[in-house]
Amino acid sequence: MQVRPLALAGAWEFTPQQFGDDRGRFFEWFKASEFDAAVGAPLELLQANCSVSAAGVLRGIHYTEDPPGQAKYVTCVRGAFLDVVVDLRPGSPTFGRWDSVLLDDVDRRAVYLSSGLGHAVLSLEDGSTIMYLCSLEYTPELDRDLDAFDPEIGIDWPTVGRDGRPLEFLRSAKDAAAPGLAEAFALH
């Protein structure tokens, strides 16, 4: 497995080695020993989630109040997503900055984000499916959201899907009503 740290401390990209033959493909999408060596600590697994999205569905920016925070290990099992990680750790030299990784069913990359980092995904084709491992069970009272289109964060969202057609962004009412970075962090 190849490991690449992202531009934000506490976030990594994992690209597995794939093995194929006339039966199909095999790869290890998570391996504790390689994860521990890269990150320096084990991933405590308390919940696993699956999300299926149409092209243009934008989920996030989501994060969990830190502490306790929620770490995630995310991969795409079908289709393609732009996975975006945002540094939401006050006092961090990269607070408010973001980095992204294309997660798809070709390269089979995974992204790990430590607690204190925000997360958003944009589906680049219909039926795209992500699976993610979480270090904390969903706790609604700790769940937080930021506006994915906040100009202060300035995420460069693609406007064209994997098939070359324009994307029409679709967000939940909760995500569309989320505050910007300045408003959210003035409350803390």
Q: In the annotation, is 62 catalytic?
A: yes
Identified catalytic residue from 62, 73, 112, 119: 62
For residues 87-97, give the mean pLDDT.
96
Kindly report, residue by residue over 33-43, the tens digit of the pLDDT: 999 999 999 99
Q: Is residue 186 over pLDDT 90?
A: no
CA 61 to chain centre: 9
Share the mean pLDDT of the chain. Answer: 96
| Cβ–Cβ under 8 Å, residues 128 and 121 | no
Per cent of the chain over pLDDT 70 is 99
| Cβ–Cβ under 8 Å, residues 43 and 71 | yes
Q: What tokens were used for 34?
A: 């390689």
Rounded to a whole number of angstroms, the distance between the first and last alpha carbons of the chain is 39
DSSP 28-55: -S--HHHHHHHHSS-----EEEEEEE-T
For residues 69-79, give the mean pLDDT.
98
Binned at pLDDT 50, 70 and 90, residue 90 comes out as very high
Q: Is residue 188 over pLDDT 80?
A: no
Catalogue all structural domains in the chain, each as residue range(s) with its CATH number.
Answer: 2-186 (2.60.120.10)
Q: How far apart are CA 166 and CA 168, in angstroms?
A: 7
For residues 7-12, give the mean pLDDT.
97
Binned at pLDDT 50, 70 and 90, residue 146 comes out as very high
164 to each of 55, 82, 125, 155, how far by Cα in Å? Answer: 11, 15, 10, 20
| Cβ–Cβ under 8 Å, residues 38 and 32 | no
Binned at pLDDT 50, 70 and 90, residue 187 comes out as low
Classify each residue of 69-85 as buried b or exposed e, where b means 16 or more C-beta atoms within 10 Å of its C-beta.
Answer: bbbbbbbbeebbbbbbb
What's the confidence (pLDDT) of residue 11? 98
Q: Is residue 128 over pLDDT 70?
A: yes
Q: Is residue 9 over pLDDT 80?
A: yes
Bridge partners (DSSP) of residue 4 are 13
Identified catalytic residue from 63, 119, 132, 188: 132
Residue 111: its H or E element: strand 110-113
For residues 19-32, give the mean pLDDT.
96
